[in-house]
Chains A and B, each alone.
Chain A
Amino acid sequence: MHAMALAADGSKPLEAVARAREAWRTEVVRGLREMRAKLGLPWARLRSAAELAEDDDDRAVAEDERLVALLDKGLVQPLAINALFRALIRITNPNATAAFTRFFPLGLISLALAVPSRSELRCSWDALSLGNKCCDDSLAPDGPTEWEDAHYEAGKALLATGDVDALRDWARHGIPSSLRFDAWLALLLVAPSHDNALHFDALLGEVEAWDFAIDAPLRADINATANDEHYFVFLDLIRDVALAFVRDRTLPSLLALPGISLVDPSSGAAYPPCGVVPPEGLAHMIAPLAYLSSAPDGVYSVFRALYTRHLVRLSALASGSESLLTLAAAFETWLAELDPVLAAHCTAIGAPPLRAAFPWLVRGFSSFLPPGQLLALWDRIVAYDSLYVVPALAVGIFTLRASSLLECASPQDVAGVLSNLSACFSATTRLDH
């Protein structure tokens, strides 16, 4: 159960949202079909015995070459962040009340959505200011403090008892890197079992046997992590987890919000089998988990749980609590409350805050923060069982950089000020909201 669920009337799917969602679905599906037409491949194709006999490396090279050729032809990302952004701001609500418009005239989301107030979400803000003591200590010169040692020992003891509620209370003060894997599994309610390993092995078997049309955009995404200084060493792991993910038939029933997929009318089966078209940036969401464990099936189990419970919401157009829509609305509302002058200034120079914050939200900041900070942020998602900490950080970054932002005269200036966020996280976590 989400700790910060909205009031009942706010979580009812509004009609406008339902319409927008349907339009978006049509667009994604059309994109998928176009992509497949360009590829000239079936949706799924069983590899021939001859292909399978080829050397792994040779096949990887061949696949990369094919991908480059496709990219040259202008391969489409079926679920690109920019398209999602356009779809989001297209949503209009004819019934917007005068009161609402007066209260918040400048936001891009022209829909009266019930967003939890900052005081209701005190804990989201607390989540950012609490517990950073033990998360950013990686190379602390003086070594861990007594508090950190005690916190670590307490966590270890709780993990041994299996008391999830107590563990959650503990985790709200931060999770030491060395307990993160076990703590996340416990908090995401993944039962440790040999079946997880078997399941992953079976999926890798399908990766080997089946060539999917949807692998192409996914591979482009995976290859981008090969250029990332934080993740290039984990390329093989990221590739295995991503390709296994789209083939996982057990996912659709686990998704917290329905994803967009094709449905085979005869069998009712979804394509891709995971029930959700992977959003641009999926590989970068997997990548940070490479720091949790070097066992690929362990990483897969954590990612599967984290994605179905939380991350899927980040690219979902839905009116339910904690969808992309409500998170974006929360960002705009909170920023306008906290610093209306800043929000108005950015909007006036053609750089509405949500435009800059949107990629942060959709990706849950993955690829925008170095891994240590990103994992510390995601610790809070897992511990509080809520995504509101993501827009809370986005607002924190804007207020932290407010003085520079107020001097900006163009969207390019704003992009420049917000281009490197690595110094923001620790500063934001110390802000007292």
Chain B
Amino acid sequence: MDSRVRCKVDHAKEVIVTNFRKRRWVIVDDDDDTWHFYWGTGSAARNTFNPEIGFRLADNQFINHFPNHFELTKKDLMVKNIKRYRKELAKEGRMAEYEASDFLPTTYTLPADYHLFIEEYKRRPATSWIVKPAGGSLGSGIFIMKKLSQLRKWKAQKQAAGSSVKWVVSQYIDNPLLIGGRKFDLRIYFLVLSYRPLRVYMHSMGFARFCTAKYDTEVLDPEDLMQHLTNVAIQKHGDEYNSAHGGKFSLQNLRLFVEGTHGRAAARKLFADIKAIAFHAFSAVKNVINSDRHCFECYGYDVLVDDTLKPWLVEVNASPSMSATTQTDRTVKHTVINDVINMVLPAGFPDLAACKLGVGSNLDAPMGGFELVVDELKDAARPGSASPRPPPSSAAASTRVRRARARSRTRGSTAGRPSSAAGTRTPRSRPASRTSSSRPASRRR
């Protein structure tokens, strides 16, 4: 029999296929179950594990999803899980972690929490809200609202149409960090090799996605989605869309910019906070996910940074887009997939006996662009560490958070104020911009 690796991919995405070809793997047909490595859609993975199909994975079969990843990647479930996790932290008195995990904009599920939302809405008249389908993507169906009448009208329409789809409504972050006057969000890749013990890595080749239209800081125009939604799917249709760079800017460049304009400590804190977001989000679902040793997952985190340099978690994608819009984009995605495959595969793959220990068992695997976020396996192995958590990064991050909060309080910002039990956040007035002033003298003082 052919001893070569057999692999499968659902959508023949170029960057995935070229990775397979480079490894001289044989790509099998759609209905062929004799693969060793499967890069599929989320639902393909669910079917693979469907007990009714009665198909059991062999030791040398690996797939790019956990069966119930939607606990993290569906907007309403993510919110539910993180709220519960934070309640537990509070109950256990782990206040540093409780504060460090306050990165979700206040969110309610519709229609279930409609009345709770109305109460909150009335408490915070100055806040704008963004409404999204719970399972949606590519920016479809999203709208921004300031007046309740908009939501009532929308709700009536949905009811009339007999729609049973769930939606979420979130506090709209209306003070995003702007670069060149434009809003952006970050796409950052996190690889999970296992949930129990939790093993997470972050890839350095993330990027920022910019809006083509300038962000109006004076008045919020909810109709002009070009300045509010950073999805490439939306921005592509703008007049100003530039296909040379696709509005994408590397994470390295973002870091260079933040170091230059906000200083070294601020840049370090921002990136530590982003890692902490991933750590807490994964921790929040680690006990509900079926941590199967045939599975791994490369998540695309969508993170929004506000003008106090606080990162907010917008959404987690289980199947981050692997289609490439530019040459750089192609290089980035090709590299990420290559690094994922290296990290995931056991040494000796696809030999059956060599694969017994499962995903991520090759501890000498080259990390490529990945860096450690948390590895409870290693933490547990370290002498003298009885409890595997919290991981070093989060502990360090939370002290940094505390220090920075003390600092931000002195600047008159309320961003660091501990929030109410439900994890909500009070609307805050926009602090005077520290960087866009036209006086360099102020920066040098």
Contact = CB atoms under 8 A, between A and B. Distances in A.
Interface residues of B, number: 41
Contacts of B245: 227-229, 232
Given A152-B264, A298-B443, A201 B438 contact: yes
A233 B182 contact: yes
B250 interface: yes
Interface string B256-293: 11011101100110000000000000000000000000
B381 interface: no
B440 A177 contact: no
Contacts of B244: 227-229
A234 interface: yes
Contacts of B180: 233-237
A372 interface: yes
B438 A178 contact: no
B242 A295 contact: no
B441 interface: yes
Given A192-B444, A197-B438, A294-B436, A371 B253 contact: yes
B204 A178 contact: no
A97 B250 CA distance: 52
B12 to A, nearest CB: 27
Interface in A294-311: 294-298, 301
Contact of A139 (B179, B255, B435): B255
A177 B260 contact: yes
B25 interface: no
Given A138-B256, A177-B256, A229-B326, A294 B435 contact: yes
Nearest to B207: A229
Contact of A291 (B256, B328, B438, B440): B256
Given A138-B259, A177-B256, A177-B259, A227 B242 contact: yes
Contacts of B444: 182, 185, 192
Interface in B390-405: none
B21 interface: no
A178 B242 contact: no
Interface in B425-439: 435-439
A181 interface: yes
B182 to A, nearest CB: 6
A426 to B, nearest CB: 13
B14 to A, nearest CB: 20
A291 B258 CA distance: 8
Contacts of B69: none
Interface in B71-108: none
B439 A141 contact: no
Contact of A297 (B255, B326, B328, B440): B440
Nearest to B243: A227
B96 to A, nearest CB: 20
A293 B440 contact: yes
B260 A295 contact: no
A231 to B, nearest CB: 9
B439 A370 contact: no
A366 to B, nearest CB: 15
B438 A372 contact: no
B264 A295 contact: no
22 contacts: A143-B268, A152-B264, A177-B264, A179-B264, A197-B441, A227-B244, A228-B244, A230-B249, A230-B250, A232-B245, A232-B247, A233-B180, A235-B180, A237-B180, A291-B257, A291-B260, A293-B435, A293-B440, A294-B436, A295-B435, A296-B438, A297-B439
Interface of A: 138-139, 141, 143, 152, 176-182, 185, 192-194, 196-197, 200-201, 226-230, 232-237, 290-298, 301, 370-372, 375
Interface of B: 179-182, 204, 210, 242, 244-245, 247-253, 255-257, 259-261, 263-264, 267-268, 326, 328, 367, 371-372, 435-444
